[in-house]
Amino acid sequence: MMCIRSEIIGLGHCLPEKILTNDDLSQMVETSDEWIRTRTGICSRHIATTETTSVIAGKAVENAIKNAGLTPSDVDVFILATITPDNTTPSTAAKIARNLGFRHGVPAFDISAACSGFVYALTLADNMIRLGQAKTAVVAGAECLSKIVDWTDRNTCVLFGDGAGAAVLRAVEGEGTNKDTGVLSTRIYADGEQYESLGTNGGVSSTQSSGFVVMNGKEVFKHAVVCLSEAAQTVMNDAGVVKEDVDWLIPHQANIRIIDSVAERLEIDKDKVIVALDHHGNTSAASIPLALSENYASGRIKKGQLLVLTAMGAGFTWGGVCVRL
Ligand code: UT7
């Protein structure tokens, strides 16, 4: 049966210039390259200096629109996933809409779903496209996590990085089968039971500040493996595809040991799993679009391939997307 699908027609990303290595970190807190590498898989991360979230997100969006062969005036809706906005209000999406020159009246808003933010944004945009409310949607994930990290806490400061990734979606007609190009299935979830396990120790209405990232690493780790693999399996089932059909699994980039366990549970070969955390660290909402855009630009991920995206983060929130590029 004919249906409307959201095809990804452009990708873009942006990383702040400054790179912070594990050795640099070992000069700042009691840690070592060896500990960080073996416990997390992270070797280096990018850190914003003068850049803000709107700057790196704006560049990622600009590149995605250019790569789609469109101009900002073609955009019908813009959704930015971030937990590190330039200002508490207005949204960083509104700032980017102004800077890039989106049309008057085009909806632009931020969503807060931490590391699952991009999967949430993609889900919302896909629904708007399929409902006919937008023909061209831009979704982005961008973070300057370095601004809310406690640089004296070795338990957290070694894990995170800054960056941005974006995708342009366009309405296309599909056959309604798993051979279609575009988003085939989406799922998003939340469960507030683990509200305390991962987040910041403050916020606007409680402490009149943004707070710093705090985490119960072991608890998050345990749930992450289950949430990431279940969301991936569910969207594969929804799309009517099996693990052999999947060209690339793109999991949220938090810890290589989590990624390996998820791949093992899904019985997806390690060489079909995209890993970018070695040079990005955990960039929260940016992690999936950044990994996707970078690997598409390098030619590793190709048009026509079937991707499974899966994310999990503070809230807890989690979700997945199955998409054919
Ligand atoms: O983005 C959302 C999702 N976030 C995640 O998925 C993160 C999930 N959690 C994790 O990735 C892991 O739990 C961590 C990487 C955060 C920690 O790994 P772990 O294997 O769970 O280590 P641990 O917390 O049990 O710590 C082991 C030891 C501790 O020392 P003691 O108490 O055993 O003496 C820590 O104090 O390692 C110590 N430690 C460090 N040592 C050197 C913790 N951080 C560091 C560090 N350098 N940076």
Tokens of 114: 């931490």
Query: DSSP assignment, residue 132?
Result: T
**Which pLDDT value is given to residue 270?**
96
What are the residue ranges in the chain where pLDDT is below 70?
none
Alpha carbon distance 44, 228 (integer Å) = 24
Residues 6+ apart with CB under 8 A from 153: 29, 212
**Which pLDDT value is given to residue 1?**
84
| Alpha-carbon distances, residue 96 vs 10, 114, 163 (angstroms) | 18, 20, 15
Q: Is 115 in the pocket of ligand 1 (CB under 6 A)?
A: yes
Residues 6+ apart with CB under 8 A from 232: 249, 251, 262, 266, 308, 310, 320
| Alpha-carbon distances, residue 307 vs 8, 31, 184, 219 (angstroms) | 11, 36, 10, 28
**Ligand 1 centroid to residue 155 C-alpha, Å:** 6
**Ligand 1 centroid to residue 118 C-alpha, Å:** 25
The single-letter code of the amino acid at 5 is R
**Which pLDDT value is given to residue 123?**
99
Q: Is 31 in the pocket of ligand 1 (CB under 6 A)?
A: yes
The pTM of the whole model exceeds 0.95: yes
Sorted by where each starts, the structural domains of the chain and their CATH numbers stand as 3-174 (3.40.47.10), 182-324 (3.40.47.10)
Q: Is 21 in the pocket of ligand 1 (CB under 6 A)?
A: no
